[in-house]
Amino acid sequence: MSGFKSVDTITDDFPNDGKAANCSRLDDDKQHHSRTLLIDNYDSYSNILAHVIAECQDNSSLPLTVRNDAISVSDIRFLVKEHLIDRIVISPGPGTPSSGICDSGVVDALLNAKDELVRGVPIFGVCFGFQAIAFRYGWDVVRARHPKHGEVSEVTVKEEEDKEESRRGGLLFKGVPRVFNATRYHSLEALFPGKRKEAEKEVRGEEELVALAWADVVESEKENGGGGGGGEEGGTVMALRHKVYPQYGVQFHPESICTEPHGKTIVKNFMDIADAYWKEKRGEMEEEEEGNETTTTISEERKTVLMKLVNASRETQDKKSSNKSSNKKQKKSAYRLHAREVSLLDSPTRSEDVFRTLFSDKKNAFWLDSATADGSSGTNDSNGDNDTPRGRFSVMGCQGGPLWRRVEARMNGKLVVMNNQDEIVKSYHHGGNGSILEYMDEELKRFNVSEENFATCIVDEVNAVKDGESVKGLPEALLFACGFVGSLSYETREECDSPIFFANDSSSNSNTMVKAALYFVDQAVVVDHEKKMVYAMTLTEDGPETEDLFEALEWLATTTLDINRSLLNKVKHVADEMPKKTVVTQNCTQLAESIGFKWRDDKEEYMEKIKTSQERILDGHTYEVCLTNALTRRDVGAYKQTRHLYRELYYALRERNPAPYAAFFDFSNGAGEEKAHFSDMYVCCASPERFLRCDQNGNLEAKPIKGTIARVEPLGCAEDVKAVRDLQTSVKDNAENLMIVDLLRNDLSLACEVGTVKVPGLLKIESYRTVHQLVSTVVGTLPSTSSGENHAEGNADDDDKRISPIRAFQFAFPPGSMTGAPKYRTTQIIHELENEQPREMYSGSVGFWSCRNKAFDANVVIRSVTYKDGEMKIGAGGAITRLSDPLEEWGEVELKARRIVETVAEVERKLEREREIKDYSSYA
């Protein structure tokens, strides 16, 4: 889902308060607020642009946002005539305006409209919108001489106010420095009519646009405000306006984090210009309209559809502004959380010891592992300011109590659910609007744990008194309170405004392709690395004492004893050391091939695809392509499919490559119904990247990674420190990261309250054992009330609805750091370049989705090895931009895969030796 509703398909799912029937005008100034129509050209920055527009309005109202193929010029005319919109913003987007409706949709027809009412509407074009305006009035839009993507440039303004400008309402660059920095994302540029052939000039007529600002201007020309008349010697045109109509455009991105604060000022100036225009022209244009009987009209049915869209958007804003501080009590949940705690303060025990003791030989085991916080798994950094991130909590468990479920969704629409007795309790093909994300949303709603329960779920037996029990709660920072754990594959994007078309969609490939593999866990153990505590928790039905309740409490008591036993077992695990890292002289590809792996695309094929990606970039179809490759080994021998191999592999992986968002999942099959309905899978992941986190209060956080450089041993040496500086100053890596930061800001803005999407950490270094990485942090807050699409049905309190956190996850998925931008078009390019092969678990997310108000924490699945039905796979890739060097990009792919391949090779050698010794002992 994109968060957009096509007005061609809007029906009764939008609220109708009766206003649609009479289409009454809002002529009263007290009622009427100036309103913006934002035409979205399928871009990944349109929604953060919508937030910028909202922040420029006194009532913080979001614009009416519609995609370019979901509205007509006649629709726009109706909206203008009824005073429902006063101005239009044309968003950035992929493609070129010269392709007509293919890339432009309604934009081409809008700019060529003959109707004076439509033609007179103030228009502001951004990037693609800027180019569309330029192309409409005879300029050439061609490959840029200075293409830029995620790069910050100086923009030089030459805009002088005269009587005409004063009448128009002022300058577009009022209050903006004459030279300022702005972010650019464009492969094409608009050239002045003087650059065209004389014959074209005669056909297209006189120049109608005035250039207002330039970039790529040499120092001598800055003194003249751009100089050269805007020709080749005068740099790249960055802004323009029409001489007669209130139409403006900027080539740079005013909504980018690195154009702040001037971008917002420019948008506000345009809005003021539009208001001044209507103040002068409204009456005059209405008089002309009354005598116009030949204008195109739309049907009453279409008017009703449009009014529903407008009213739904207004109602959303009214609810947000009037219900921001609701503190109503939650409804009582039908389920209750119980917990016990064990202190680790006087013990050297690590979470690995707890997992080995409790779950190493258990079926359907899982471990969401903050490995960098676990004892000796830390790293040495190149300097004291760049500490490796340390997650606070690790969550682990296995097949549990009566509420436990195993869930698998496949690409053919099949969803299967199994209970703890290995019985299939649900098996169906979800159709229509059904999806794995909607299933999760509904289940978390049903099993919701109240905040009151969360704060009183631990019985403190030590301090209990005779007349009652002393109770306390779990740590406020702990989001997990039982719920879903598992993996959502990259192909889950089909539910997230990212359609997928496989060449063999009807074949068995679609039937076996796993979209999601999950457990709903009602019993779990959580390690608090910061407070040195371990918590055992279980979820039960709330009500009279039942056999299930007694069994749950017995599990708590037994598990608490087992945790204490793990404190004594530490010495046993020290003796069971992982194989020591051996010196490997082979490169990654040679080592991988020596143990049976093969790249999907070899070196030459991958570099050719990099070049193809760059051609797509230069043609304007994308800014950045996150291209990936995969090492695959098929027909894995029987002994390599054992549970023992993958657990040993994960232990070694976390030891050699500890990461804050690591994970192990045993989705292996048993017999009977489970084997008949579920895939046989393992996931071993050492991810350093958080995709998205949402706490119980609706606060979102994303931590995209873009920019990687190898560490130099000994860690912290002068060369290692230099590697950090090289990464910090790399134009390419900074641009890659900035593009994804703006993309994440856009994705969060689909769900978040206006003004809450921020970037508290931009382009920061995080250091791990093998690499330094460039990491940013993007945050936002969900509104406390429904957004008009019933997003919040999953909240336990129906009287204080807000957008469901699962919905926010859906808006942002798949991770932008694994796609590039614009996401919609770029995922299509990736699908083609990667031979229409699924990425499966790689590039997706592993994490938890909690019963505590649907809070979640999910990573990006990278630095991983997965197994499924006889095939092992290791994924690796990188962001391709116009600045990418194909050979260096191939080197980065090998760097990212190498540590995983080495670990697989060493663990398999160790287990092979053990097997040989065992066989020899048996023979002897």
Residues carrying an active site annotation = 689, 706
CA-atom Rg of the chain in angstroms: 30
**What DSSP assignment string belongs to 582-618?**
PP--S-HHHHHHHTT-EESS-HHHHHHHHHHHHHHHH
d(C-alpha 628, C-alpha 599), whole Å? 11
Q: How far is CA 719 from the centre of its chain?
A: 34
**What DSSP assignment string belongs to 103-142?**
HHTHHHHHHT---HHHHTS-EEEETHHHHHHHHHTT-EEE
d(C-alpha 331, C-alpha 154), whole Å? 55
SS3 at position 324:
coil
Please check whether residue 172 is in contact with residue 248, taking contact to mean a CB–CB distance below 8 angstroms. Answer: yes
Cβ atoms within 10 Å, residue 595:
14
- Give me the residues paired with residue 582 across strands: none
CA distances from 472 to 243, 461, 462, 463, 558 (A): 70, 11, 12, 11, 20
Q: What is the 3-state secondary structure (H, E, C) of 789-847?
A: CCHHHHCCCCCCCCCCHHHHHHHHCCCHHHCEECHHHHHHHHHHHCCCCCCCCCCCEEE
Both structure tokens of 120: 């007179």
SS3 at position 354:
helix
Read off φ and ψ for residue 192, nearest 5 degrees: -60, 150
Report the amino acid identity of residue 404.
W
**What DSSP assignment string belongs to 692-709?**
EEE-TT-EEEE--EEEEE
Both structure tokens of 392: 């606070």
Q: Which residues of 198-226 are buried (b: 16+ CB within 10 A; e: fewer)?
A: eeeeeeeeeebbebbbbbbbeeebbeebb
d(C-alpha 686, C-alpha 771), whole Å? 13
The secondary element (H helix, E strand) that includes residue 733 is: helix 731-749
Please check whether residue 113 is in contact with residue 119, taking contact to mean a CB–CB distance below 8 angstroms. Answer: yes
Cβ atoms within 10 Å, residue 612:
16
**What DSSP assignment string belongs to 738-785?**
HHHHHHHHHHHHTTSPTT--EEEEEEEEEE-SSEEEEEEEEEEE--SS
d(C-alpha 763, C-alpha 758), whole Å? 14
Nearest partner of 62 among 250, 302, 269, 320, judged by Cα: 320
Q: Is the dihedral of CA 203, 209, 210, 216 positive or negative?
A: negative
Q: How far is CA 831 from the centre of its chain?
A: 18
End-to-end Cα, the chain, rounded Å: 64
Read off φ and ψ for residue 78, nearest 5 degrees: -60, -45
The secondary element (H helix, E strand) that includes residue 338 is: strand 335-343
Query: Checking DSSP bridges between strand 514-521 and strand 405-410, what pairing results, if any?
Result: antiparallel
Both structure tokens of 838: 């699924």
